[in-house]
Structure 1
Amino acid sequence: MSEVKRQREESKNNDLTGTMELYYVSKYGLSKMKKRKKDSKSSNSGVRKQAPIATKVINSLRKESKRKVIDIQQIRDAKAEAEELEATIIKQEEMDQLDPLHAVYAYAQNKMSVFVEQLSEMPELAKLVDLYEAAEDEYVPQGPPVSPLTLSYFSCWALFDLNVGLHRESLGSIATEVCREFQADQGLIKLFEIMNTSRMGLYIHAGHLGEYVLLHEFVTGEKLKAKVISGYRGYPGEIWLVRLLPSPVHRAELDYSIVFITPYIIGQQKGRKFYSIGDEQGWHEYFDRTLDKIHAKDRVQAYEKLMKYGLDRHYWNEYIFEAYVNN
């Protein structure tokens, strides 16, 4: 049996270690990710001190695991639920049809969704879950009409950007801390960390390079080569509002970013006509007015905070909803 197959077989019965990430670790060299050293202690030392909700969740899970009186039916129900959730994860044959970076991140997001679903009944997560459900009802209701907030956009916002508390804990960050504490696959945790720190960004389309789109970001000035998983490659001069995920490894063949959501193209309405080429100067003026309102050490950090959290919780949800509804 090959090493990859052996690893897959070993991971089948481990709810915190997936099989697909092991396959792609071998095939695309993701084993070169920097791995976090395991803490030899069995205490909470691996949990960030600034993550109080995650710490409470982990403590509750520990207490539950140490209970001497075990409800057998509860275990059976939990196992059945876990198997049902696992069945919703993207399958290997589906992943084989995808771009390698897209496949890795799609699997990681699906896996995180399962973890979050399993944790969502815990009272420590009640506030976050309530906020998520309220936002879902408000911005992505069961249509018609169809919401301008795409599922790819909303899922990322709900997992990685929606947060509570002074330390801005999200469903994604809490799930990541739980996985880290219970020694989930380190490659998967690395992907979770990248996704948790991801944000929306505003970019100028600067042309094409083969199958890639060249994007220049407002404020940061960063120039990026990206692959669009939705298939839309756009035109130079367009302004894109998107979430990019970088390659998690340093390999020439994977030296690009993934546009992980369907791009929002921000054009201009002139009279009755809509033009896909956006108002670049208008956005520069917007950032000049807005970034001073955000407490940050510099302009770039202010921009990054704005694009991830907005000026309030539903800032970017409202922008997309108002800008695109009925268009």
Structure 2
Amino acid sequence: MGRTSKKLHAKLSRDGLSDLPTGKVPRRPDMPDVEAWIKQGMDPVHAAYAFVQHITSFFAEGASQLPEMKKFARIVAKAEDDYLPSAPPMSPLTTSFFTTWAFYDLQFDDDTLATCLIESNDVVSMNPDQLDALKKMAASRMGIYQQVGMDGQHVRLRELVTNAEFVCHSTSGYRGKPGELWYVRLLPPLLPDLASYQIVFTTPYILMASMDDWLQFFGRAQPGSGKDATGLHQLFKHGPDVNYWNEFVFKAYHHHQSDAIFLAGIPDLKATLPHA
């Protein structure tokens, strides 16, 4: 944890939660009903993660008003003005892509919004299962995966560079075809004894550049370390600068359909980006 999370925790411990989530989550009337989601056909692991995403969003809404979080609030507000996150055709940055970046990847003073919430959980009082899900989301990142087939109703994705393979539930319903490259955020199983599949938490961005082009990009982006898991994690989690991947999605938009968004080009090759 960084100094911001410690300062925020001290303030919340001293002054209370104000309009932040309190006591047993949820308390607010606009919190979603997870059981209703599942009855409507939503995957239960996805529903659990989506619920924790709502808790984090409510925390962000209140905490961003506090002076301890002014740096976070300033960066996110400018990014919202620049990229207008919603969904195509308004913006290629979907709400799920933008908020997971803001909550789990955006660093300020060695913290993220998620680490601030984790540090303050003795005040917020998420239960152990919710806290475990939040920690998994905090550790997650975007990545590029090749679609390599199906496993029943689930999609099999193999990560470029690491070659790690995952069986995944695609929350948008998009399944694609073998050979496609997906730029997505995967979340691990919450209860491995009940579900062994990953959750594709963001709407899939389907990359139109070739695998060779992307492998060459990794070599340029992280010379000497871009072809290992540590370098890859750093590249996708934080990028060379704070809005690196937001900029790529914004400039690479090509077209979309209801369950997927298609991107053309390579981040560091401006001439390949349709909206550069």
Q: Sort the TM-score into its range (normalised by shorter chain).
A: 0.7 to 0.9
Shift in CA distance, 180/62, structure 1 to aligned 2, threshold 3 Å: closer
- Within 5 Å, give how 1:1-327 maps onto structure 2: 50-65=1-16, 78=19, 86-91=28-33, 92-97=35-40, 98-140=42-84, 146-165=90-109, 167=110, 169-180=111-122, 183-251=125-193, 253-268=194-209, 279-292=210-223, 299-324=228-253
Larger relative helix fraction: 1
Calculate the TM-score normalised by the size of structure 1. 0.71
Would the aligned equivalents of 2:56 and 2:117 in 1 still touch at CA under 8 Å? yes
How far is the alpha carbon of 1:63 from its aligned partner?
Answer: 2.5
- Cα pair 1:226 1:256 within 8 Å, conserved: yes
Looking at structure 2, the residues matched to 102 and 237 of structure 1 have their Cα atoms a distance apart, in angstroms, of 25
- Do the aligned partners of residues 87 and 143 (structure 1) sit closer, same or farther apart at CA in structure 2, a change above 3 Å counting? same
AA in 1 matched with 2:6 = T
What's the C-alpha RMSD, in Å, of the aligned pairs?
2.8
Paired residues in the alignment total 253
Per the TM alignment, residue 181 of structure 1 is displaced from its structure 2 partner at its CA by 5.5
Deviations along 1:131-175, one digit per CA (max 9) or x if unpaired, are 11111111126799510011111111111111112x2x1112211
Amino acid corresponding to residue 212 of structure 2 in structure 1? Q
- Report the TM-score, using the length of structure 2 for normalisation: 0.83
Q: Alpha-carbon deviation of 1:59?
A: 1.1
User: Which residue identity does 2:217 align to in structure 1?
Assistant: Y
Return the offset for 1:316: 0.5
**What's the CA shift string for 1:57-82, capped at 9, x where partnerless?**
111122325xxxxxxxx97xx49999
Q: What 5-or-longer segments of structure 1 have no aligned partner? A: 1-49, 66-73, 269-278
Paired amino acid for 2:243: H
CA distance, structure 1, for counterparts of residue 106 and residue 134 of structure 2 = 15
Runs of at least 5 residues in structure 2 that lack an aligned partner in the other structure:
256-273
Counterparts of 2:105 and 2:174, CA distance in 1:
25
Measure how far apart 1:281 and its partner are: 1.1
1:228 and 1:311 map into 2 onto residues whose CA distance is 28
Report % sequence identity.
34
Give the letter for the 1:315 counterpart: Y
In the other structure, the counterpart of 1:4 is: none
In structure 1, C-alpha distance between the alignment counterparts of 2:196 and 2:86, rounded to whole Å: 38
Aligned in 2, Cα 1:291/1:234: closer, same or farther, shift over 3 Å?
A: same
Q: CA deviation at 1:299?
A: 2.3
Q: Which has more radius of gyration?
A: 1
